A and B are shown apart, each in its own frame.
Chain A
Amino acid sequence: MIIDYQELTTIARRLRRHIISMVGAAGSGHPGGSLSAVEIVVSLYFGVMRLDPERPDWPQRDRFVLSKGHAAPVLYAALAERGYFPVEKLNTLRQLGSPLQGHPDRKALPGVEVSTGSLGHGLTVANGMALAARLDKADYRVYVLLGDGELQEGMGWEGAMAAAHYKLDNLTAIIDHNHLQIDGAVEEVMSPEPLAEKFRAFGWETRTIDGHDFSQIMAALQWARQVQGKPAVIIAETVKGKGVSFMENQAGWHGKAPKAEEVERALAELGD
């Protein structure tokens, strides 16, 4: 477990470089929502989660469900940096035969807990994992990362209702609240606001933080562990495309790959 924010920042930069490089090499993919989630994913994989990359199926591991599966690049980058597979493999993203499928495939890549990509599923699957932990009297935690646009799916709210009903305090949801989706601003396409009030009404504890500030993320993840008798959701205010000036806050970079020249510019901005 790393609590040195400087080191986490360094890892975050590496993940951003991987995301840009691999999506650029693939020629397609989702950079915007991968970049917005970097600090959240780094905090989980390098900060708080109990993991053993040598044993991806270790029963006592904490589980991470990337419900917004299109952000696969950030998950792959984290898994590679954490030692689940060689970093060199990242550039096979989306190629025929690669375990790095366009959206995460648990059968193809050890370390991926749930095959996601169809929005709305993740929370319900995480609920099942949290219920199983309770049945087994196991103390692992389940983390699920949701998109804000994803919360337009009705299935997510079925899951929100169930998590509260079953008092899943071994589950933490994090919303990557980057305010953009394919067709534009989330609030304009179909507003899920007010998010915190909605989750509270569904029976959750909520906390809103800056999703790029490690001290706030780590503190919120710690807070979530203390919540008892309820699930907790961290609403992480983020910037889509974070870290690459020309991608920041641009809906157009939701699902578009940077060209070679743009990859260079982005990497230069991110630094080594």
Chain B
Amino acid sequence: MDKIISEEGVNVTKIATREAYGRALVELGRQDERIVVLDADLSKSTMTAFFAAEFPERFFNMGIAEQSLMGTAAGLALSGKIPFASTFAVFATGRAYEPVRNAIAYPRVNVKIAATHAGLTVGEDGASHQAVEDIALMRAIPNMTVVVPADASETRQAVQAIAAYDGPVYLRLGRPAVPRIYDESYSFHLGKAHQLRPGRDAAIIACGYMVNEALQAADELLAEGISAMVLNMSTIKPLDREAVLAAAATGVVVTAEEHSIIGGLGSAVAELLATTRPTPMAMVGISDSFGESGKPAELMQKYNLTAEAIKAAVKRLKSI
């Protein structure tokens, strides 16, 4: 496995959201005895291993059996525990889709599905392990809340927030270390977008890995005289309608996500705008294809998940 684990307390600029998740779980476990964690043989990768080391009696490795992972998490939640069930996003939402739907979401059971290795930034493992449709799958299930944090600080807070919330949540986390966007003064609110840049000419609504690309695009656009708002839409469902409508007031909306353009953040924004405030839009995302093996940066370049692509989309819309 990759070696990007930071030393706790050391101020590193890039931390993976999965690592922040693993550390946040330990913090949470110390605060609340009801927290239990389940994994499916990937605890060193999902970083639930930190929790397992400190709270072995509250950690359950279910083996390579993701359906059992979700069903067991449901049973624990029905008995008053707050389970975090972790595996890779492709297995959490694909292999275990139906138990997630019927054993967790339909009965509105208090399970937190924290899935790591989402999107193309899985890298070398290739398409079988790169979930590009997980947001779409989870977003389509009634009762499900969908959260995609952008960096370590936001992940830490999101973990606390979803533990405090009573209901099923899908937390989407990434493999690679990502740049710090927020310091500890940031305050995450479930269901609320966060405006990172004001702007009057266009709005970029991004989530996860793409938030940093959006910031870079906005900086470059500003240098060219285009003032672009940047929204971090870390809760994709329920969508912050007010924030999206405010973004649409700029006249142009570009969404950016490390996910298929079918069913993800872009779709969520388009569904709202098309029915309430039709606005010229572009979606930066994976255009209906699987990924492949490669270095994360190479893949993001090849599949146009870049600041450059966001910038081009804004300029294209502005020139219409």
Contact = CB atoms under 8 A, between A and B. Distances in A.
Task: Answer yes or no: are A and B bound together in one complex.
Answer: yes
Interface of A: 59, 105-107, 113-115, 117-118, 120-121, 123-133, 135-136, 154-155, 158-159, 161-162, 165-166
Contacts of B67: 120, 124, 154-155, 158
Given A124-B68, A166-B60, A129 B78 contact: yes
A136 B75 CA distance: 14
A165 B75 CA distance: 17
B142 to A, nearest CB: 12
- Give the interface SS of chain B, mostly helix, strand, loop or mixed: helix
A159 B70 CA distance: 11
A131 B75 contact: yes
A127 B80 CA distance: 14
B123 to A, nearest CB: 29
A121 B65 contact: no
A106 B99 CA distance: 15
Contacts of B79: 128-129, 132-133, 136
Contact of B71 (A106, A107, A128, A166): A128
Nearest to B101: A118
Taking residues whose C-beta sits less than 8 angstroms from the other chain, chain B's interface range is 20 to 34
Interface stretch (B103-111, B191-199, B312-320): B103-111
* Residue in B62, B72, B78, B107 whose Cβ sees the most chain A Cβ within 10 Å: B72
Nearest to A154: B67
B68 A155 contact: yes
A117 B63 CA distance: 25
B78 A114 contact: yes
Contact of A159 (B57, B58, B68, B98): B68
A112 to B, nearest CB: 9
19 contacts: A106-B78, A114-B107, A115-B103, A115-B106, A117-B102, A121-B102, A124-B70, A124-B103, A125-B71, A127-B71, A127-B72, A127-B75, A130-B75, A131-B75, A132-B81, A135-B81, A155-B71, A162-B72, A166-B60
B76 interface: yes
Contacts of A129: 75-76, 78-79
B57 A128 contact: no
Contacts of A127: 68, 71-72, 75
Interface string B72-105: 1111111111010000000000000011001100
B103 A131 contact: no
B206 interface: no
B15 to A, nearest CB: 31
A113 B68 contact: no
B25 interface: no
B36 interface: yes
A137 B273 CA distance: 52
Contact of B103 (A105, A113, A121, A133): A121
Nearest to A114: B78
Given A155-B71, A158-B68, A162-B72, A125 B63 contact: no
Contacts of A133: 79
Contacts of A132: 75-76, 78-81
B65 A162 contact: yes
B151 to A, nearest CB: 32
Contacts of A59: 80
Contact of A131 (B60, B98, B107, B108): B60
Contacts of B76: 128-129, 131-132
A160 to B, nearest CB: 9
Contacts of B98: 118
Nearest to A159: B68
A173 B154 CA distance: 43
Contacts of B106: 105, 115
A42 B63 CA distance: 36
* Residue in B36, B65, B73, B108 whose Cβ sees the most chain A Cβ within 10 Å: B65
Contacts of A117: 102
Interface in B175-194: none
Contacts of B102: 115, 117-118, 121
Given A106-B107, A124-B67, A124-B99, A162 B78 contact: no
Contacts of A124: 67-68, 70-72, 74-75, 99, 103
Nearest to B70: A124
Contact of A128 (B63, B74, B107): B74
Given A124-B74, A155-B67, 4 more contacts: A106-B78, A128-B78, A131-B75, A161-B65
Nearest to B83: A128
Contact of B65 (A114, A118, A158): A158
A115 B68 contact: no
Nearest to A123: B71
Contacts of B81: 132, 135
Nearest to B73: A128
A126 B78 CA distance: 10
Nearest to B40: A158
B143 to A, nearest CB: 10
Contacts of A118: 98-99, 102-103
A106 to B, nearest CB: 5
Nearest to B68: A158
Contacts of A159: 68, 71-72
Contacts of A158: 62-63, 65, 67-68
